[in-house]
Amino acid sequence: MALPTAPVVAGALVGGYLVARKTQVRALGGAVLAGGGVVAGRRWMATSGTARTALLTAVYLGGFGASQAPAPPPRGSCPTAAPDASRRGSTTERPFEVTLLELFVTPSS
């Protein structure tokens, strides 16, 4: 008798989360999720056909998406420098140099 897909899917969702959490590498958690999805998807295709496999895959990926926290914002950009750079225009004497005072003080003109 073949393994039911419910434990495979649940194990892949929980296992993918735990792997990503413990290793701090989200791609590894995604690999666990993909592996469980492939195993379950092959079983669904063999027993249920294309339409039901597509529906179950959508539910599986929807459960994964609903469980995800948004990714943290990228580091390295300074959001306060962007308005200052656009205000000065693209051709300046110091295109990439912004002093600390310029970040917090707006010109009077």
Q: Whole-model pTM? A: 0.59
Summarize pLDDT for 43-93 with one digit per residue, the tens. 999 999 999 999 999 998 888 777 666 767 766 655 555 555 555 555 555
- Look at residue 100 in the predicted model and tell me its pLDDT: 56
Domain ranges of the chain: 5-67, 74-109
Q: What is the pLDDT of residue 32?
A: 93
Question: What distance in Å separates the CA atoms of residue 38 and residue 57, rounded to the nearest whole number?
Answer: 10
